[in-house]
Structure 1
Amino acid sequence: MEEEIIKTALRLPRVVHAKILDAATRSGRSMNAEIVSRLESTLLMEEPERLMPATKAMEASAIARQNIPDEIRSRVVAAINRAVRMGHKAAEVDFSDLELDTGLKEIEVDDLTEEIHQELINAGYDPKWDSGQSVVIFFE
């Protein structure tokens, strides 16, 4: 039986619209499909006792994976700023709680860290990565 679809209008801030459009483009979906997928994933996460279908688990995982580079960058910037305030010449960031080595292949981890790695290099830092588990950033 076909699922009943209800048409609705949605107003979004430009920045949110742009982010959804970018995510939809990257995932090969329409904006509508991207929004529905993200909402379904969020709602499923609010029901921890319910076993989500494997296809939904894969979609939710892919969406969550898109947030990892921002989380890594945020931690790196905070660690550098903290190290500078303490008068250190290097900063270390531990990512072991993200368990990147558990559910991702090494090439996938490299893809997730590549953008911040290049940003650090371009800014004159010398980052040394430990398989996505941690990074030491030298700036002496």
Structure 2
Amino acid sequence: MSREDSQFKLRMPPELREKIEESAKLAKRSLNAEIVARLEESQFRTGKPTELPQASKAREMAAVSRRKMAAAIRSEILSALQYAISQGLSEAPVDLGGFSLDELNEHEFEDVFLEIYPELTAAGYGYEWDKRHTLHIDFSSPE
């Protein structure tokens, strides 16, 4: 950002500011840079792009999308576990067919599951893939 960029005051609830500050820390950028990046991403996603974004910006936006995908997948895992436990099962199949996992290269795929795999392992779960559509989470064996 340059000093010539326009400035304006922004009011937001303290809880929202805390969440965005945390995201900014994770992304290693300032609060202002985080807000600007989110607005740019939103504009690119929902508007009709008229300019080709720089490749570095495209990589950054794709990484943000992968982090969002990881959070959504984690939520699906929790729902599947909740259902399996409530039904007395010892395995939870997680249907991830609604995500574009087949289109990710190996690095992008691993990026999505970077935090999910260690969390499952640390909690004592086993897991196995049925292609890239169904993640089977097993909790039948004691640790």
TM range (shorter): 0.7 to 0.9
Which whole-Å CA distance do the structure 2 matches of 1:108 and 1:131 have between them? 16
Change (3 A) 1:40 1:72: same
Query: Structure 1: where are the runs of 5+ without partners?
Result: none
Q: Give the TM-score normalised by structure 1.
A: 0.76
Which whole-Å CA distance do the structure 1 matches of 2:59 and 2:110 have between them? 20
- Kindly state the Cα deviation for residue 131 of structure 1 after the two structures are TM-superposed: 6.1
Contact 2:66 2:111 in 1 (8 A): no
Which whole-Å CA distance do the structure 1 matches of 2:132 and 2:22 have between them? 25
* CA deviation string 1:29-54 (max 9, x = no partner): 3221221111122123222x444523
CA RMSD of aligned residues (A): 2.8
Instruction: Indicate the percent of aligned positions where both proteins have the same amino acid.
Output: 35
More helix by share: 1
1:60 equivalenced with 2:61 (yes/no)? yes
Contact 1:37 1:59 in 2 (8 A): no
Which whole-Å CA distance do the structure 1 matches of 2:99 and 2:90 have between them? 26
- Kindly state the Cα deviation for residue 83 of structure 1 after the two structures are TM-superposed: 1.2
**Matched letter for residue 60 of structure 1:** M
Number of aligned residues: 137
Secondary structure (helix, strand or coil) at the match of 2:137 reads: strand
**Corresponding position of 2:128:** 128
Change (3 A) 1:130 1:29: farther
1:106 equivalenced with 2:106 (yes/no)? yes
**Matched letter for residue 30 of structure 1:** S
**Corresponding position of 1:95:** 96
* CA deviation string 1:110-129 (max 9, x = no partner): 23213222222222221123
